[in-house]
Chain A
Amino acid sequence: MKRGNPWLSVLFWTFVSFLTLFPIYWLFVISVKPAVELFSTPEVILRSAYWQNYIDVLNDSTLRGYMLNSLIISSCNALLVTTLGFLACYALSRFDFGGKESIFFWTITNRMAPPAVFLLPLFLLLTQVYRIGNFTLLDTRTGMILVYCTFNLPFAIWTLRPTLDGIPKELDEAAFVDGASSWKVITEIVFPLCRPGLAVTLILTWVFAWNEYLLAATLTNFNARTLTTGLSEYITTTGTSWGIMAAISVFTLIPALIIFSLVQRHIVAGLTFGAVKG
């Protein structure tokens, strides 16, 4: 540790924190102002709160539908990728088959490609190729849940691999000697030990799905639209209703903030492909 006046550091970091927090605070300020006040001189200090924007958002049945879609899609997707990632990592850590490290690496590369590249092919595949009769995956929750696997499933595998590798193989083998089935070993011995890792994976994949915009904007029209796409609808219409837009932003932000307090330590490790332990 270096010397120097600690209070100077506190002062400096208070300033940095101010720069970090102020834009978020400003979002909140705009969200609790009536439209008429917005175009007067901007005031930094909030004198009164006007909650009508939030009430308007909650009363809008379209936006409520978007919220529900976001909830369903991100929850189902997080559960799906965590389960599949867990099973895949169990296979990768317990079985000895050729090319398993290549398979591991291949799954990860899926996350590295820019999502914009996949807009066109996924749109065409969902409308033209992956269809049964008249039923297509375009603009369905199921479609979005599956599409989000392209970035969340590699992430789940990446974060769960060390967890499963960390559980001694001797535990499984002892259970097999006692005559337990593979199913029993996975569900009753390995699964309980992985719970903390699974919880972090579940939470972070949920946030990634909740935050996603680009794919949702292109692959949904009305039925499966999510909250983030609802937000952009308010910006394209002429005469943006800033208060409503800010209120939707706050609604989108709240779950992420709650989750942030739960898994703060794991966020950096998650975003750097495990290069850094937070």
Chain B
Amino acid sequence: MRSNRLGWILLAPTMIILFLFGVVPFLYIIWLSFHQWNPAAVNPDIIFIGADNFRKLVFDPGFLASLGVTLAFVTFAVLSELVIGYLLAQAFMKDFPGKAFFRTIHTLPLIMAPIIVGSVWKLMTTPSIGIIPHFLDSWFGYELNIGQSAVAAFVVTVIMDIWHWTPLVTLTLIAALVSLPPDPFEQAQIDGAGKRQIFWHITLPMILPALMATVFIRLMDALRIVDEVLMLTGGGPGSATRFLGVHIFREVFPRTSYGYGSAVSLIVLYLTIVVCWLLYVSMLAPRNPKKD
């Protein structure tokens, strides 16, 4: 075996960069979140104030509103993507010509820059330019205005996310469905099981690991949504689409209260980690008993 020194030398640049731009920022916001630092204020010094920033955070209506809409958005978007993605994956399992072609088109939104997705949907939904408000108005007499109606803005944001990310769910579930063995399904059909029974008792348990991995990845990404929303609605109207990332970018960052901003950033990071960790655990938990 060669000396490990070369190994460390090869790893060193990676570790230094990730330390400087990954670990240091993390430690820095932990430290700052217990301090008051406002260069624009009367007293621009960095002062230790204990947990005051966090105390302020718990009663900050802006932050709480943002947290609420983020959770609502994540729930609606990820659930819809799972249901639609599963149905599309099932539809893809049939035998038909041109599968590779349709699959390619279906993958397309995944490579698009989030900000371009935002601009595409802005052009689709802005009144007088967009095609959607035009048809909604002339067919149903409904006036879609994402700049004024909070509900409309929220729904369009969810639809945009569904358009952007459902393909990922579809493609992961296709991969899972393709790898299933045919025997249990044939057996169930011989035994006279209905479609619903087959889904709940055979398909779902067998694709559960892949499904949970998809949920985990989608949740992580949905929690961090910023670019698309900044482009589409700018977080408005009001706080209807001011998700946590948008809140940091629009409200917290421009103000120069760095200590409080750090506390907000830290809590958002903590929430993401907790959600991911809970999912990771729930992903592994159903599999563990079988190993015993």
Contacts and interface: CB of A to CB of B under 8 A. Distances in A.
Interface string A207-232: 10011111001100000000010011
Contacts of A231: 115-116, 119, 231
B96 A30 contact: no
Q: Is the interface of A mostly helix, strand, loop or mixed?
A: helix
Contact of A17 (B91, B106, B122, B131): B106
Contacts of A97: 4, 7-8
Given A27-B120, A96-B4, A9 B94 contact: yes
Contact of A114 (B114, B115, B272): B272
Nearest to B213: A275
Chain B contact residues (Cβ within 8 angstroms of A): what range?
35 or more
B21 interface: yes
Given A264-B104, A267-B111, A276 B8 contact: no
Interface string A49-71: 00000000000000000000000
A149 interface: yes
A134 to B, nearest CB: 18
Contacts of B96: 6-7, 9-10, 13
Contacts, number: 286
Interface in B81-98: 88, 91-98
Nearest to A13: B102
B249 interface: yes
B22 A214 contact: no
16 contacts: A4-B94, A10-B98, A17-B102, A20-B167, A88-B10, A96-B4, A112-B220, A114-B272, A116-B245, A120-B262, A121-B262, A154-B18, A211-B115, A212-B113, A213-B227, A232-B230
Interface of B: 1-2, 4, 6-8, 10-11, 13-15, 17-18, 20-22, 24-26, 28-29, 32, 88, 91-98, 102, 104-116, 119-124, 126, 128-131, 134, 163, 167-168, 171-172, 175-176, 210, 213-214, 217, 220, 223-224, 226-227, 230-231, 234, 244-245, 248-249, 252-253, 258, 261-262, 265-266, 268-269, 272-273, 276
The 3 closest A-B pairs by CB, nearest first: A95-B7, A211-B113, A121-B25
